[in-house]
Structure 1
């Protein structure tokens, strides 16, 4: 799934954010029924992988070398983008408010802008700076101004690690695919992330608790597997494929700004599905995030470099240079 234009990439990025945003409304009933967060995200990763694997095998068409060439990126995305982001975020919310942890984690676009500024020694265009200010201001309003408060230092450390992991996810996802379909990239990464999470649960490092009764969902009762299936298919399988395709098309910077819409969609789903109140300030915050994304989109890429332009040569690329006829 190679997106032909930045407009298509932005549309897919919005779909990815919408899909990721459904997870909270459907995982919350599981947590209320006794599931541990680590168990929920582990099963979610495996369900997403199970959905994608048959499609990935067909999409690869026997081109297993493409998967082998991308092995470093797959491992990084699986371990950091899938597993570490979840682990550090949940470790953070055990010590600090959820809103504070989420606010810090979603500062990833600002971190990417800062890294490019330092590494390229070129100040970002004013539009990028304006877009950053609008998006972060909107994020604070959507999550709630009360997220900015004195908190536990160790919780802040975990939240900052989640921020770094989130930024790495966008950078790695934006790297050129080199013939690896996004569906195969996402499937392999979800397998890696699920295995890491499962091993941590099996060894007791993470609490791993599941229940198999009914859960409260949409005002009624439903089997436990219904929300798992929703988050596995929509906010894991589809969301990761769409997110990877969008990041490759847009670059890490714009894709990460578009990813901020996840918190807007999460608030909307919580309002529609869980009856949680949606405040006027949150609507204003959503509008500011949209304004920030539009400003960053308007910034000319040739005059405002992205972190994706920083050259990275891994083992697979070295092997490709050593044997250009291997295809």
Structure 2
């Protein structure tokens, strides 16, 4: 769902002139409100539990801005400046940053497997941004910046809410973080000013991004983090870049050469290397 929604976002940005700020703010506000409404129908009192302690409220605010909002905005910005396939693959450098974070926190050097993963990540990124021609970059500096930022945001999004998820339902964490993140972005953008070209294609693509690419997918991801932990969740989510690349090539005819596939596979290989015990 994330992969296909990335392709839908590229379609909206590049062919329907939809603004990133508008798309992200509306995506978060609509999906977050719907998730909280669903939770309230099940148990109204429990959705306010997360605000009853200063620690949980503070953790939620940090997660909403530096996790939920950041991972959404940086990912869409990477897509706008490149394409859905490249932006999604660069985001999947996130597990490497997770491994580096745990190495720093535990005060140890990266293991041999982690070092191998870092090497594959660097090689894959190099191939992806140069297409094998080391004398020049084939994607813009902005695309690379937003792609790396997206990977860092994904790592933070995966690690930071572990304590929140132990104490609260995943639907409440996701719903409130989306609403708060959407409200914060709305201070800079005005979601009531609707940009772009609107027709049935725009409505369908935007609807998929909001419902499947946000509401259902983010809940599923954090529910998985709660059940099996951040590292295994990152491994299983590697279907996203494959979906984004395949759908992007078939639907939007994204140019993706052999060297791009090799670079992408190098980055995805890091997930399997890091999962090996």
- State the match for 2:272 in structure 1: 294
The answer on 1:23 being equivalent to 2:1 is no
Q: CA deviation at 1:77?
A: 2.3
- Residue 95 of structure 2 contacts residue 271 of structure 2 at CA under 8 Å; is this kept in 1? no
Which residue among 11, 23, 33 is the counterpart of 2:16? 33
1:16-50: per-residue Cα shift (whole Å, max 9, x none)?
A: xxx21112221233222221121122222223224
Separation (CA, whole Å) in 2 of partners of 1:280 and 1:152? 20
Distance in 2, matches of 1:260 and 1:143, equals 20
Shift, 1:186, TM fit: 1.1
Distance 1:118 1:62, change over 3 A: same
Structure 2's unaligned 5+ residue stretches are none
* Structure in which a larger fraction of residues adopt helix: 2
Among residues 230, 240, 248, which one is paired with 1:270 in the alignment?
Answer: 248
TM-score for both structures, normalised by structure 1: 0.67
1:186 maps to which of 135, 154, 174: 174
Q: Distance in 2 between matches of 1:198 and 1:284?
A: 39
Q: Which moved more, 1:278-287 or 1:141-150?
A: 141-150
Quote how far apart the aligned CAs of 1:233 are: 0.8
Judged with a 3 Å threshold, the aligned counterparts in structure 2 of structure 1 residues 285 and 56 are, in CA distance, closer, same or farther, namely farther
* Cα distance, 1:263 vs structure 2: 2.6
After TM superposition, give the deviation of residue 200 of structure 1 in Å: 1.0
Deviating more after overlay: 26-35 vs 258-267 = 258-267
1:114, CA displacement in angstroms?
Answer: 1.9
Q: 1:79 to 1:267 in 2, by over 3 A?
A: same
Q: Deviation string for 1:61-90 (max 9, x for gaps)?
A: 532453224323322222112323344556
Give the root-mean-square deviation of aligned CA atoms: 3.6
What count of residue pairs does the alignment treat as equivalent?
Answer: 269
Greater Rg by CA: 1
For the pair 1:79 / 2:65, whether they are aligned, the reply is yes
Q: Give me the whole-angstrom Cα distance separating, in 1, the residues matched to 2:269 and 2:201.
A: 40
Distance 2:133 2:182 in 1: 30
Partners of 1:249 and 1:143 in 2: CA distance: 35
For the Cα contact (< 8 Å) 1:261–1:286, is it kept in 2? no
Deviation track 1:141-164 (CA, whole Å, cap 9, x = no partner) reads: 567636985698888766655443
1:228 to 1:144, Cα distance in 2 relative to 1, 3 A: farther
- Equivalent residue number for residue 210 of structure 1: 195
Matched with 1:52 is: 35
- Hey, what does 1:255 align to over in structure 2? 233
Of 59, 66, 91 in structure 1, the residue corresponding to residue 49 of structure 2 is: 66
Give CA-to-partner distance per residue, 1:71-123, whole Å, 9 cap, x none: 233222221123233445566788x7568876765433222222222221223
5+ residue gaps, structure 1, are 1-18, 215-221, 300-327
